[in-house]
Structure 1
Amino acid sequence: MFLKRITLLREEIPSMDDYPFSIPSIKSLEEIHINQHVTFFVGENGSGKSTLLEAIADKCGFHTAGGGRNNQYEVHASESALSDYIRLSWLPKVTNGFFLRAESFYNFASHIDSLGNYEAYGGKSLHHQSHGESFLSLFLNRFGGKAIYLLDEPEAALSPARQLTFLKIIRDLASEGKAQFLIATHSPILLGYPGAEILSFDHDQITSVDYESTEHYQITKYFLNQKEKLLTELFREE
């Protein structure tokens, strides 16, 4: 692992009542220790997981609309106010890596088209592949070597079968000891990666949880085992 610790510089924050510091999980944050090569951020929308991941990406020098340190292109990129108030502790520090933001991947693909740099992405424009194919092309061709990968909801374009393929890609890279992953996700399939640490941003704080304790696992299991009962309850008229 390279990134070992994330610390909130609370004494430097002007006001904890201003966004994004007012997000409960961020407001209660002191320090996060990263213990595994693969770490997942989970939580409801608005819980702060993507906000923190974006701040880490900004601190790493990655384009916050998606890309690595060398991907500089003109497009609206989020200004992460949080990144000025976190400290990343490394051993050793790495500068290679990538920030994937599913919602702005189109802009990154357009940037690659403008460069004509298709060889690094499978030899074909990312726009000329399906959404899922373009994600896998990125993972298979752009990811490699000593690097840190920050991924915000990578499952957005991946079918369940391709999520399994992605788990194998993560395994191949992480098992070599050269890659570290921080992934914000809602996918119970991705969360099943063996040995990963899962950090929950729910309940107003960031805590380590077991896979079976996540709502993603519990709700999916209940739906598969009790589909008719759940849907009957869900659609019952008041």
Structure 2
Amino acid sequence: MFLKRVKLLQEHPAFQQNVYPFSIPALRQLDKLDINQSVTFFVGENGSGKSTLMEAIADRCEFHTAGGGRNNAYDVDASEAALANYIRLSWLPKVTNGFFLRAESFYHFASHIDDIGSVDAYGGKSLHHQSHGEAFLSLFQNRFGGKAIYLLDEPEAALSPQRQLSFLRLIHDLVKTGNVQFIIATHSPILLGYPEAEILHFSEEGIQQIDYEETEHYQLTRGFLQNREAYLRNLFM
């Protein structure tokens, strides 16, 4: 692991508890967040602050906040990373290599790669000329490696269940080298099943570590698969 802690700078002169992003309960209650595993998941409902914290970390890493690494410079309406100026990152040791994936703006990153003529670094085929899922896996397989930190916001968005399993294998192979760290915001019960990962739940009560079986993603998916008819009957009443 490289990134050890995220600290909220409440002494920042512009800090206001009831103004975005601190109007989000999980972020308003944040003091410090320790990262204890090589693979860490952020989970919680939409709007719970997962992506806001993720893009702030990416900004402090000097990654492109619309998606990319330190050397990817392109113009797009990127998120402003509203939280970035209010956090401090603690490293041991600090790494500068890595990548920030935002599923919602991946199209712009793919266009950037075409514009600079770097398709050879992504399997020799334009990311736009692959299916969405193929393009994601091409990115993971060709760009990920070395000593690096990878920040991924909903990577399952383009991955079928089978490709999510392939992605888990890729994570496993990289983590075994001891040179990479993953922080992943996800709604996928498949990805969340990665062994020994740390799962941090964003909610009205703040950010707490929970077990896989405690996640709503696991409980809801398991309940639905075991009793689909009852779930649908109650849903459509």
Q: In which range does the TM-score fall when normalised by the shorter chain? A: over 0.9
Is residue 163 of structure 2 the alignment partner of residue 162 of structure 1?
yes
Cα deviation 1:23-79 (Å, max 9, x = unaligned): 000000000110000000000000000100000000100000000000000111111
Residue in 1 that maps onto 2:195: 194
Secondary structure of 1:81 counterpart: coil
Secondary structure of 2:156 counterpart: helix
For residues 204 and 167 of structure 2, the distance between their equivalents in structure 1, rounded to whole angstroms, comes to: 29
For residues 231 and 16 of structure 2, the distance between their equivalents in structure 1, rounded to whole angstroms, comes to: 43
- Map of 1:132-171 to 2, 5 A cutoff? 132-171=133-172
- Map of 1:51-62 to 2, 5 A cutoff? 51-62=52-63
Residue in 2 that maps onto 1:83: 84
Secondary structure of 1:206 counterpart: strand
Give 1:180's aligned amino acid: Q
Give 1:78's aligned amino acid: S
Which range is displaced more, 76-85 or 101-110? 76-85
Residue in 1 that maps onto 2:5: 5
Give 2:4's aligned amino acid: K
Moved over 3 A (4+): none
Is residue 96 of structure 2 the alignment partner of residue 95 of structure 1?
yes
Secondary structure of 2:152 counterpart: strand
Structure 1 runs not aligned, ≥5 long: none
For residues 139 and 205 of structure 2, the distance between their equivalents in structure 1, rounded to whole angstroms, comes to: 34
For residues 9 and 28 of structure 1, the distance between their equivalents in structure 2, rounded to whole angstroms, comes to: 12
Q: Percent identity?
A: 71
How far is 1:140 from its partner?
A: 0.2
- Map of 1:1-238 to 2, 5 A cutoff? 1-12=1-12, 13-236=14-237
Secondary structure of 2:26 counterpart: helix
Give 1:103's aligned amino acid: E
Number of equivalent positions: 236
For residues 10 and 171 of structure 2, the distance between their equivalents in structure 1, rounded to whole angstroms, comes to: 34
Cα deviation 1:125-171 (Å, max 9, x = unaligned): 00000000000000000000000000000000000000000000000
How far is 1:217 from its partner?
A: 0.1
For residues 77 and 228 of structure 1, the distance between their equivalents in structure 2, rounded to whole angstroms, comes to: 43
Secondary structure of 2:83 counterpart: helix
Q: Check conservation: 2:15, 2:86, Cα contact below 8 A.
A: no
For residues 206 and 11 of structure 2, the distance between their equivalents in structure 1, rounded to whole angstroms, comes to: 19
Cα deviation 1:198-226 (Å, max 9, x = unaligned): 00002330000000000000000000001
RMSD: 0.6
Give 1:230's aligned amino acid: Y
Secondary structure of 2:206 counterpart: coil
Which range is displaced more, 31-40 or 14-23? 14-23
For residues 142 and 82 of structure 2, the distance between their equivalents in structure 1, rounded to whole angstroms, comes to: 32
Secondary structure of 2:218 counterpart: helix
How far is 1:14 from its partner?
A: 2.8
TM-score, length-scaled by structure 2: 0.99
